[in-house]
Amino acid sequence: MQNQNNSGINSATILIHCPDQPGLVAAVTDFINVNGGNIIDLEQYVNRQENEFFMRIKWDVSKFLIPCEKIEDYFRTMYANKYGMTFRIYFDNYTPRMAVFVSKMSHCLFDILGRYTAGEWNVEIPLIISNHEDLRWVAERFGIEYHVLKVNKDNKETVEAEQISLLKEKQIDFVVLARYMQILSDNFIESYPNKIINIHHSFLPAFIGAKPYHAAYERGVKIIGATSHYVTTELDAGPIIEQDITRISHRDSVNDLVRKGQDLEKIVLSRAIKLHIDRRVLVYKNKTILFS
Amino acid sequence: MQNQNNSGINSATILIHCPDQPGLVAAVTDFINVNGGNIIDLEQYVNRQENEFFMRIKWDVSKFLIPCEKIEDYFRTMYANKYGMTFRIYFDNYTPRMAVFVSKMSHCLFDILGRYTAGEWNVEIPLIISNHEDLRWVAERFGIEYHVLKVNKDNKETVEAEQISLLKEKQIDFVVLARYMQILSDNFIESYPNKIINIHHSFLPAFIGAKPYHAAYERGVKIIGATSHYVTTELDAGPIIEQDITRISHRDSVNDLVRKGQDLEKIVLSRAIKLHIDRRVLVYKNKTILFS
Amino acid sequence: MQNQNNSGINSATILIHCPDQPGLVAAVTDFINVNGGNIIDLEQYVNRQENEFFMRIKWDVSKFLIPCEKIEDYFRTMYANKYGMTFRIYFDNYTPRMAVFVSKMSHCLFDILGRYTAGEWNVEIPLIISNHEDLRWVAERFGIEYHVLKVNKDNKETVEAEQISLLKEKQIDFVVLARYMQILSDNFIESYPNKIINIHHSFLPAFIGAKPYHAAYERGVKIIGATSHYVTTELDAGPIIEQDITRISHRDSVNDLVRKGQDLEKIVLSRAIKLHIDRRVLVYKNKTILFS
Amino acid sequence: MQNQNNSGINSATILIHCPDQPGLVAAVTDFINVNGGNIIDLEQYVNRQENEFFMRIKWDVSKFLIPCEKIEDYFRTMYANKYGMTFRIYFDNYTPRMAVFVSKMSHCLFDILGRYTAGEWNVEIPLIISNHEDLRWVAERFGIEYHVLKVNKDNKETVEAEQISLLKEKQIDFVVLARYMQILSDNFIESYPNKIINIHHSFLPAFIGAKPYHAAYERGVKIIGATSHYVTTELDAGPIIEQDITRISHRDSVNDLVRKGQDLEKIVLSRAIKLHIDRRVLVYKNKTILFS
């Protein structure tokens, strides 16, 4: 019999980490099992150097004895407090809401909106914010609100307040910087911890900061990369979610690197977004654990 | 207190598969937990299409209440029979024993013996078998027995009997065909199910059989590959363990493909050997589940 | 002084192949040099197995003594006939015209139109043809004519006649099958030799024909691929322009392969289109020579 | 008729660079053509940003009118001086001589010696130098002289003098640092400009200096790399010859990175050595032009 309290919810996903000790897997799986849940997916990992335990479990809650809105409370009381666990629970009846920040380049935005309209991701995108008018036509073609808030060195605080106001109005859960090209204030970043995904057009930590393709050209590297990471207050130093690379040669000019790099950027960013949407990313000490 | 029966053994690894049903993870982790084991590593996976459950658990047995030699019996009685599980248990105090079959080419053999002498793998290599004298000097430099058993179309049965006799004498657990270039009989293959690892010099299932580099050249592919797989009675059709590729161009002659391919072959074969040695491969319906 | 006859034309590109013999490079470079051309880019390659010579030269024609419209005639008379050369000359004042054939899937079309609108390619796209209405909205958003010509087993000849009529009306130079999913008749294919670019969703020659992702899943490969090739009358056997791959695991269902493969398909197809537009592809005996 | 002066020599290879100007390709190919040479391979490249021209030509000298020992003088007089060319000529009857510097790790040395004994490279290796006894047995198995010269902070000058003396005695053309782990003095480096090939165990310019795998682990990168470059007096900043990468995950400990990285190191270093031996590397302004 379907739990009446959980109607419309099929699965829950929990991400956990805590100091390692014997019995953690058995304890959590037992909690799910004895309450009528069925484990759909479990991945566990222990970082021996840090002695820290990490786990992601997705389970079927259609017959779960505990109503979904009470699971967090029960789990905290009976397990998290006992084992010193940090955890988050997500249910599949909620669709995360994402805002995209762009500047003038369209390649990442097209890739995101192409996937969005094809239904590839479980996400809502109600808002695009830019500091330029250039991509308004793209947003309009896809029927998404587009707000231009021009940033300069004097009005950053005001503009960010407007941005945050829009994010709250649209109930945005996470922000994607799709080549936004502006540096956010610490205050903005700290309002969305591990919820701002950036794409940097280099193989971090190589070529931090501005003009990485120029720097790669100058250094004469044979491979270029792109890196998607959560934004932290230290520039280009946040937890890395995904990276990929492509070969180049001495024949490639800076413009060739830009062109080849754009293919990397859009694919790497989209993979990171998908991992985030699917609740597969856990951040610990500025690194990501990615559950497969 | 260390279990006296398990002295010298630190960890056990179990590979399990069975039809999926609720409670499997909880049951097995509970078995380990209540008997004083501590899970070091757990990976589970359910194939939804086949409705089959797969799991690998490595656990600390130093304080395990059940003596290691009885774990298999207890587990079968209490769990495997109940859930219809197929399973294998391995203990870390046993070093697997590997034989290498070679022909005339040295690149894979050098790679294997380089890793072996550097202590990279937990394996013993007491035996090299060839149908040619060519690589005897390599074996001698590394102090490993080298037997030449020349195969022709008339003596295959006799030669294979001698080969199997040598494998038994040296208590060989698994065989690596490091570019052996001979087709083994069904009888031989069936004596070592999922215990003969081959390297095929193409991206299977493309270019099955002889001269894959010539075939790749003729077809004009832009990428070549290598595939390591368990040998089954159907040629080049066994469960794939590992594959990798490298880019080529129209400039590459067949000889260039051979040379570039050799780098792939040795790396791909060595990765497959390591996965096998580390008990990370489970074969199901001619496919491999690889636990990471 | 700018050659008055060549006003508006900056560069010419010639692709040549012929039986190899001494002096070919010297002869052609001398032709360009003595007539006031300056070589911008030269790449030559000799296939020793076939004893065939291949060359691509791009040169500055702004001060070339021979008017552009006569270069072909002069070159044929003085060089091509003498050396048995097959050659094509292109001028940079002509923008090639491309038609896209689609079915229901949007990922390749979005990728193509994103690049097109961003000005990444030197191409005109005046026409999209489909056998379904599904992607009309995409074409309309980008302001490109979209024609639905429903194909079935009885009307193929009529439909293809209409398609060819549209291609002629729009002065189309080459056709891109962006997951079109229909097999063209030999007659159609032979009307556009080496001018129809297809994307096949496998690492050819593995998994020729329908449902390659299902076949890859069944075989248990660890890597999937995509292949862009010119269409010939033999199914999926035409000259390969570009291939790429991505890693998969036993965890990936057929749907996961489809999703991961779509990223490959669009990138591989777009790379092939760019090579074609840039006049970097020469076809010889069902293989491509790609000038870098 | 074979030129008597060039007996035993089949081909010459010239590497050229100079400021770009019209007519360079035509001039050099004409020189070869009119003197009875036949071009086997020609690759040319112009760096538009630097306005610098680069070319590699390999040609058949068996019927060349100019004796090989005079080609350099003739070419300098008639072309190099005129066009401001820097150039080097190599003949195929000379086998380059290579020394290997090692420390304690064997993986690169095994890979090099495996290829050497298999005849994969056109090179002589008469000398291995180390600061430790550890790999003497490897050198002895392959019958190559092994000299231990222990370096410490006080004796570096003396040891390097002995090393250079050995290099001269053995007529060494270039040195390979196969994980040598010592920093050479500026004086040593400047004695072998673009003739000392190092393998650095990171994706340069990320993680310059000591312990790059530890640094990669700390940063939480998803991909690690290896870089082979010519040694210059600035640490890890010399011209890059080859790079490659492999994927890692949060599951990989520092030891796993070391193990996975070793496979990269040996392959990347060996590719760089082959490019150097084949005279395919031209260094210009701290970058490499690689002729394919």
Look up the CATH architecture of domain B4-91: 2-Layer Sandwich (3.30)
Mean pLDDT confidence for D143-151: 96
Cβ–Cβ below 8 Å for D240 and A221: yes
Distance CA D152, CA C112 (A): 60
pLDDT at B246 over 50: yes
Is D42 part of the contact surface with chain C (CB cutoff 8 Å)? yes
Check pLDDT > 90 for residue A3: no
Residue C40, min C-alpha distance to chain D (Å):
7
Smallest Cβ distance to D33: which of C23, C44, C292? C23
User: Rounded to two decimals, what is the model's pTM?
Assistant: 0.95
D30:C30 CB<8 A: yes
**Mean pLDDT score, D44-58:** 95
User: D263 vs B251: CB contact, 8 Å cut-off?
Assistant: no
Mean pLDDT of the region D77-96:
96
Inter-chain CB proximity A26 and B30 less than 8 Å: yes
CB A172 within 8 A of CB A103: no
Residues 6+ apart with CB under 8 A from A229: A197, A198, A200, A204, A236, A238, A239, A240, A241, A272
Contacts of D155 (CB under 8 A, 6+ apart): none
pLDDT number for residue D2 = 52
- In the 8-state DSSP scheme, what is residue A76? I
Chain D adjacent subunits, 3+ CB pairs under 8 A: A, B, C
List the catalytic residue out of A236, A252, A256, A278.
A236
Cα separation, A146 vs A127, whole angstroms: 6
Mean local confidence (pLDDT), A270-274: 98
**Domain boundaries along the sequence of chain B:** 4-91, 97-290
Q: Tokens 């970058």 correspond to what residue?
A: D287
Q: What tokens does D255 get?
A: 């030891």
Please name every residue paired with B52 in a beta bridge, in sequence order, or none if there are none.
Answer: B19, B47
**B208/B213 Cα distance (integer angstroms):** 11
Q: At what angle do helices D107-117 and D254-277 cross, to 10 degrees?
A: 30
* B223/C225 CB distance under 8 A: yes
State the nearest Cα–Cα gap between A256 and chain D, in angstroms. Answer: 13
Residues of chain A found within 8 Å of residue B38, distances taken between Cβ atoms: 22-23
Position C216 confidence tier, pLDDT thresholds 50, 70, 90: very high
| A102 neighbors A181 (Cβ within 8 angstroms) | no
- Do C192 and C145 meet the contact criterion of CB atoms below 8 Å apart? no
Residues of D in contact with C34 (CB under 8 A): 26
Give percent of chain B with pLDDT exceeding 90: 92
The whole-angstrom distance between B223's CA and the closest CA on chain C is: 7
Respond yes or no: is residue A236 known to be catalytic. Answer: yes
Average pLDDT over residues D60-79: 95
For residue D3, what pLDDT is reported? 58
Is cis: bond before C205, omega within 30 of 0? yes
List the single residue in B107, B118, B141 with the smallest CB-CB distance to D106: B118
pLDDT band at D43 (very low <50, low <70, confident <90, very high): very high
Judged against a pLDDT cut of 70, whether residue A170 lies above it is answered with yes
Residues A32-60 have a mean pLDDT of 94
Mean pLDDT (chain A) is 95
Residues of C in contact with D26 (CB under 8 A): 26, 29-30, 32-34, 39
Cα separation of C6 and C11, whole Å?
10
**Chain A residue with the nearest C-alpha to that of C140:** A141
Q: What is the ipTM of this complex?
A: 0.94
Q: Can you give the pLDDT at residue D8?
A: 84
pLDDT confidence of residue C120: 93
Q: Which residues contact A282 (CB under 8 A, 6 or more apart)?
A: A15, A17, A54, A56, A288, A289, A291
3-state secondary structure of D292: coil
For residue B141, what pLDDT band results from cuts at 50, 70 and 90?
Answer: confident
Subunits next to B (3 or more Cβ pairs <8 Å) are: A, C, D
Residue window 267-286, chain A: list those with CB within 8 Å of chain C. Answer: 267, 270
pLDDT band at residue A8 under the 50/70/90 scheme: confident
| Averaged pLDDT for residues A177-198 | 96
Answer for the pair C26, D30: CB distance below 8 angstroms, yes or no: yes
Mean pLDDT over each residue of chain D, to the nearest integer: 95
Active centre residues of D (catalytic): 236
Backbone conformation region of residue B59, classed left if phi is above 0, alpha if psi is from -120 to 50, else beta:
beta
Q: Could you tell me the pLDDT band of residue B1, with boundaries at 50, 70 and 90?
A: very low
Domain A97-290 in this protein, CATH class: alpha beta
Check whether C4 has a pLDDT greater than 80: no
Q: Residue A1: its pLDDT value, please?
A: 47
CB spacing of C43 vs D41 below 8 angstroms: no
Q: Give tens-digit pLDDT for A252-266.
A: 999 999 999 999 999
- Are residues B29 and A32, on separate chains, in Cβ contact within 8 Å? no
**Chain B residues lying within 8 Å of A22, measured CB to CB:** 33, 38-39
Q: Nearest Cβ partner of D245 from A205, A240, A245?
A: A245
Q: pLDDT per residue over C7-31, tens digit each?
A: 789 999 999 999 999 889 999 999 9
pLDDT at D141: 87
- pLDDT tens digits, one per residue of C231-271: 999 999 999 999 999 999 999 999 999 999 999 999 999 99
CB within 8 Å: D38 and C30? no
CB contact under 8 A, B30 and A30: yes
pLDDT at D84: 97
Catalytic-role residue among C20, C236, C252, C263? C236
Active-site choice (B41, B111, B154, B236): B236
A2 vs D285, residue with greater confidence: D285
C62 pLDDT higher than 60: yes
User: Which residues of chain B lie closer than 8 angstroms to C289, CB-CB?
Assistant: 250
Say if the Cβ atoms of C44 and D40 lie within 8 Å: no
pLDDT of residue C103 exceeding 80:
yes
- The pLDDT of residue C7 is 75
Select from B49, B223, B287 the Cβ nearest to the Cβ of C243: B223
- Rounded alpha-carbon distances, angstroms, from residue B9 to B13, B30, B60, B92: 11, 21, 9, 6
* Structural tokens at position D268: 């990347």
Beta carbons of B125 and B144 less than 8 angstroms apart: yes
Report the Cα–Cα distance between both ends of chain C, in Å, rounded. Answer: 31
Mutation pick from A44, A53, A54, A55 vs chain B, by most beta carbons of B within 10 Å, is A44
Top-confidence range, B123-132, C149-158, D31-40 = B123-132
Encode pLDDT of D234-289 as tens digits: 999 999 999 999 999 999 999 999 999 999 999 999 999 999 999 999 999 999 99
Residue in A110, A117, A270 closest to C114 by CB: A110
Contacts of B204 in chain C (CB under 8 A): 206, 219, 221
How far separated are the first and last CA of chain D, in Å rounded? 31
User: How near does any CA of chain C get to the CA of D50, in Å?
Assistant: 14
Q: Examine the pLDDT at B2 and tell me if it is beyond 90.
A: no
Give the pLDDT of residue A7: 75
- Which residue of chain C comes nearest to A110, CA vs CA? C114
Tell me what pLDDT residue B5 has. Answer: 61
Position C3 pLDDT exceeds 90: no
The whole-number average pLDDT for the span C47-59 is 95
- The sign one gets for the Cα dihedral C165, C171, C173, C175 is negative
Nearest Cα of chain D lies from the Cα of C33 at a distance, in angstroms, of: 6
